[in-house]
């Protein structure tokens, strides 16, 4: 399968590493939550998937990573292609082996394991030996110096920012080509969010990891992504280069909230965010 | 004054030690429960039946092979056979029960393990027989007197109990090592902490469940070997295994050290209660003491002494 022609010009149109083609997702055999979603992540791209809460961002990421089954969800239509191959019938284990891994919403570190043990679980699928894993562990500690200081602490007892770093580091230990990152900003102070996003950019530029970034924090996500999609009740309602989106009036309006139909919705978003921030 | 009467102290120590020794055996069975509960959230009612089946398989093949082969070889083969059988059971349980019931409620899974219990008890006795079988795995069984320098006449111990305890301690140590230091052990702990996150990093749940049932099966063999040496392999092993229930309630459903300490506590407690309270309460305390302790713990600290999850109604 030939891929990887370098981008021509400023449009940066590289061959896609991930293509989601018109998928539908149903929960519990009845609730249709994604109603035909298509999106593309170019090789070495950072793409943002935006939308208010309940829009279907997490569902879309779980559909890609094959983690819907545990939530009694199912992809009923459409196809998903990763690195040139259909992946919509694989197990999560198999997909991680191929280089696509998800960092779950809410970080989900293993609370009773130390930070270092958490990182090592990320290497579970790797066939290469202990020496290579050690080397990569060191590498993760260079990327996240705070994790090195905390390596023997139980993950349940470190700060939210450190947990988010641990979750990303854990995913990196699988040597992924692509990370599906679900709401990294959730419940974190603004400067910590900056720090996390800066690391995402660094990983993208330095190591060529592609990112699909689900975020409610539209401003922040569009600052670091190159391209964006906006989901609304299970449909993509807008997409485009991040720069254009940042300037777009509709997006600004979306971000500030729509006066008409979305009014009530937006209030929910705001209280939800506030709740998240206070609770975590 | 009377407390320091050396004869009484020696007697107390004797009772305490024998209680602790049987406590270690309770702990061994409880460990099987805890392992499965931690890794899969399944309250495995079938642990007792697994001990019975393991014991029957072990004793029947051993008795049969002994006649034809040198003892150690027969023992080795019988243990391997029991191991293979427990692995097969683990495979079947994962493949035909757990995998079908993913995402069902804890109650549905609990009911399923009751079903597994009946199947194992029925088939086990059908295939291997339902009598009382004497098991001798070569452990010495003399009475000895220990600590003679400390107490006049020493305290009376049974070497079978001592060896059983050593064996149990070795198994617990091996398990601790496995969970703490191996890649698979780490994966099991990760699954116990957060299924979904473990899946997200590529740890296959079905494989983990299989491994954990195999480990619980091996622990069942060990429990059957030592209990069987003591009381013979028979259906009542299932009731011995029931003692593990109060043990895990006391120790906490999710705690491996809790299972061990809970076992010791109940083992020692029931013996001491029998000896010291028995005369005034009319004896037989040994049989219900554990359940009363468990009830008290449930009322005072429902997650157990070391657990962090509350046991829900079952
Ligand atoms: N396991 C489930 N069973 C049934 N419905 C679900 C399930 N998970 C999510 N949903 C529904 O699917 C819709 C989309 O949820 P999803 O979690 O994908 O949204 P989201 O965009 O990630 O929101 P948030 O920003 O709050 O994380 C919601 O209406 C939600 O109620
Ligand atoms: Mg979400």
Domain boundaries, chain A: 7-99+178-247, 108-175
CB contact under 8 A, B199 and A92: yes
Alpha-carbon dihedral sign for residues A211, A214, A220, A223: positive
Q: Ligand 1 within 6 A of A164 CB? A: no
Please give the residue of chain A at the shortest CA–CA distance from B186. Answer: A121
Go through B133-147 and write b for each residue having 16 or more CB atoms within 10 A of its CB, e for each that does not: bebebebeeeeeebe
Q: Which fold has domain A7-99+178-247?
A: Rossmann fold (3.40.50)
Q: Ligand 1 within 6 A of A30 CB? A: no
Q: Which of B192, B190, B311 is nearest to B249 (CA)?
A: B311
CA of A52 to the centre of ligand 2 (A): 9
| CA distance linking residue B164 with residue B223, whole number of Å | 9
Residue A272 pLDDT level (bands cut at 50, 70, 90): very low
Residue A254 pLDDT level (bands cut at 50, 70, 90): low
Q: Ligand 1 within 6 A of A62 CB? A: no
Following CA atoms B282, B287, B288, B293 in sequence, which dihedral angle do they give, to the nearest 10 degrees? 110
Q: What is the pLDDT of residues B180-234, one digit of tens each?
A: 889 999 999 898 888 899 999 999 988 988 999 999 999 999 988 888 888 888 8
In the numeric block, which tokens belong to residue B68?
A: 């034809």
Report the predicted TM-score, pTM, of the whole model to 2 decimal places. Answer: 0.82
CB contact under 8 A, B183 and A108: no
Strand partners, A37: A23
CA of A91 to the centre of ligand 1 (A): 21
Instruction: Give the β-pairing of A210-215 and A46-50.
Output: parallel
Q: Which residue has the tokens 């713990």?
A: B297
For residue A108, the distance in angstroms to the closest alpha carbon of chain B comes to 6
3-class DSSP assignment, residue B308: coil
Task: Find the mean pLDDT for residues B25-49.
Answer: 84
Q: Judge whether B46 and B120 are in contact, CB under 8 Å.
A: yes
Please give the residue of chain B at the shortest CA–CA distance from A68. Answer: B196
In the numeric block, which tokens belong to residue A53?
A: 């809460």
Please give the residue of chain B at the shortest CA–CA distance from A176. Answer: B201
Q: Judge whether A158 and A21 are in contact, CB under 8 Å.
A: no
| CA distance linking residue B310 with residue B288, whole number of Å | 23
Q: What is the pLDDT of residues B71-100, one digit of tens each?
A: 899 999 999 999 999 999 999 988 888 887
Q: What would be the CATH architecture of the domain defined by B6-300? A: Orthogonal Bundle (1.10)
Contact residues, chain A, for B197 at CB < 8 Å: 104, 108-110
Closest CB to A124: pick one of B102, B196, B202: B202
| CA distance linking residue A248 with residue A244, whole number of Å | 6
Cα separations (Å) of A189 from A277, A278, B301? 8, 10, 37
Q: Which ligand is nearest to the CA of A59?
A: 1
Q: What is the pLDDT of residues A134-174, one digit of tens each?
A: 999 999 999 999 999 999 999 999 999 999 999 999 999 99
Residue nearest to atom 26 of ligand 1 (CA): A53
Whether chain B has a CB inside 8 Å of the CB on A103: the answer is: yes
Burial of A222 (0-12, 13-18, 19+ CB in 10 A): buried
Q: What is the pLDDT of residues B241-251, one digit of tens each?
A: 778 888 888 88
Go through A85-122 and write b for each residue having 16 or more CB atoms within 10 A of its CB, e for each that does not: eebbebbbbebbbbbbbbbbbbbbbbbbbbbbbbbbbb
3-class DSSP assignment, residue B147: coil
3-class DSSP assignment, residue B146: strand
Task: Find the mean pLDDT for residues B101-127.
Answer: 83
Alpha-carbon dihedral sign for residues B244, B249, B252, B258: negative
Whether chain B has a CB inside 8 Å of the CB on A27: the answer is: no
Q: Ligand 1 within 6 A of A71 CB? A: yes
For residue A277, the distance in angstroms to the closest alpha carbon of chain B comes to 22
Residue nearest to atom 30 of ligand 1 (CA): A54
User: ipTM of this model?
Assistant: 0.82
Residue A263 pLDDT level (bands cut at 50, 70, 90): very low
Q: Which of A251, A202, A240, A210 is nearest to A64 (CA)?
A: A210
Burial of B44 (0-12, 13-18, 19+ CB in 10 A): buried
| CA distance linking residue B15 with residue B271, whole number of Å | 6
Q: Which of B200, B238, B52, B278 is nearest to A174 (CA)?
A: B200
| CA distance linking residue A9 with residue A20, whole number of Å | 25
Contact residues, chain A, for B199 at CB < 8 Å: 67, 70, 92-93
Domain boundaries, chain B: 6-300
DSSP state of A156: G
Strand partners, B197: none
Q: What is the pLDDT of residue A9?
A: 37
Closest CB to A96: pick one of B192, B197, B202: B202
Whether chain B has a CB inside 8 Å of the CB on A219: the answer is: no
| CA distance linking residue A252 with residue A238, whole number of Å | 13
Q: Is the predicted pLDDT of residue A41 greater than 50, yes or no?
A: yes
Q: Is the predicted pLDDT of residue A276 greater than 50, yes or no?
A: no
Q: Judge whether A27 and A70 are in contact, CB under 8 Å.
A: no
Neighbours of A145 (CB within 10 A): 10
Neighbours of B56 (CB within 10 A): 27
Q: Is the predicted pLDDT of residue B2 greater than 70, yes or no?
A: no
Put residue A234 in one of left, alpha, beta given phi > 0 → left and psi -120 to 50 → alpha.
Answer: left
């Amino acid at each position: 399968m030939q891929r990887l022609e370098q981008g021509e010009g400023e449009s940066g149109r590289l061959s896609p590493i991930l293509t989601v083609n018109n998928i539908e997702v149903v929960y519990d055999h009845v609730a249709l939550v994604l109603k035909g979603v298509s999106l593309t992540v170019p090789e070495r791209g950072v793409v943002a998937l935006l939308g208010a809460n309940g829009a279907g961002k997490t569902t879309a990421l779980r559909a890609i990573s094959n983690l819907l089954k545990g939530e009694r969800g199912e992809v009923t239509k459409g196809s998903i292609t990763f690195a040139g191959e259909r992946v919509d019938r694989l197990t999560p284990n198999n997909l991680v082996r191929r280089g696509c891994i998800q960092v779950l919403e809410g970080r989900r570190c293993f609370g009773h394991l130390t930070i270092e043990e958490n990182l090592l679980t990320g290497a579970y699928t790797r066939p290469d030996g202990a020496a290579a894993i050690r080397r990569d562990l060191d590498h993760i500690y260079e990327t996240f110096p705070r994790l090195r200081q905390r390596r023997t602490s139980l993950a349940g007892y470190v700060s939210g920012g450190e947990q988010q770093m641990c979750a990303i580091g854990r995913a990196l230990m699988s040597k992924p080509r692509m990370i599906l990152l679900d709401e990294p900003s959730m419940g974190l102070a603004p400067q910590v969010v900056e720090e996390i996003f800066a690391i995402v950019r660094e990983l993208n530029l330095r190591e060529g990891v592609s990112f699909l970034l689900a975020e409610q924090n539209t401003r922040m996500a569009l600052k670091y992504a190159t391209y964006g999609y906006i989901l609304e009740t299970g449909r993509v309602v807008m997409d485009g280069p991040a720069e254009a989106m940042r300037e777009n009036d509709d997006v600004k309006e979306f971000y500030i909230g729509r006066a008409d139909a979305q009014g009530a919705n937006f209030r929910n978003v705001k209280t939800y965010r506030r709740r998240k921030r206070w609770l975590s | 004054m009377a407390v320091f009467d050396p004869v009484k102290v020696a007697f107390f120590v004797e009772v305490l030690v024998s209680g602790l020794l049987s406590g270690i055996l309770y702990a061994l069975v409880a460990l099987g429960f805890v392992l499965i509960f931690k890794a899969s959230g399944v309250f495995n009612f079938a642990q007792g039946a697994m001990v019975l089946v393991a014991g029957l398989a072990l004793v029947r093949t051993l008795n049969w092979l002994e006649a034809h082969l040198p003892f150690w070889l027969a023992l080795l083969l019988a243990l391997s056979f029991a191991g293979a059988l427990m692995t097969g059971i683990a495979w079947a349980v994962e493949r035909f029960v757990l995998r079908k019931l993913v995402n069902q409620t804890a109650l549905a899974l609990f009911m399923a393990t009751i079903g597994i219990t009946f199947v194992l008890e029925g088939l086990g006795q059908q295939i291997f027989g339902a009598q009382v079988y004497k098991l001798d795995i070569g452990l010495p069984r003399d009475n000895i007197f220990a600590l003679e320098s400390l107490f006049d006449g020493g305290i009376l111990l049974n070497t079978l109990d001592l060896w059983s305890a050593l064996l149990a301690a070795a198994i617990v140590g091996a398990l601790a090592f496995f969970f703490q230091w191996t890649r698979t052990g780490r994966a099991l702990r990760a699954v116990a902490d957060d299924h979904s996150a473990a899946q997200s990093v590529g740890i296959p749940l079905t494989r983990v469940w299989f491994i954990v049932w195999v480990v619980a099966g091996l622990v069942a063999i060990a429990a059957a070997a030592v209990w069987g040496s003591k009381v013979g392999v028979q259906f009542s092993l299932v009731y011995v295994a029931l003692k593990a229930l109060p043990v895990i309630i006391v120790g906490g459903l999710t705690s491996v050290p809790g299972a061990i300490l809970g076992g010791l506590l109940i083992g020692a407690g029931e013996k001491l209660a029998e000896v010291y309270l028995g005369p005034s309460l009319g004896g037989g305390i040994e049989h219900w003491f554990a359940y009363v302790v468990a009830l008290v713990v449930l009322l005072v600290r429902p997650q157990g002494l070391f657990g962090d999850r509350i046991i829900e109604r079952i």
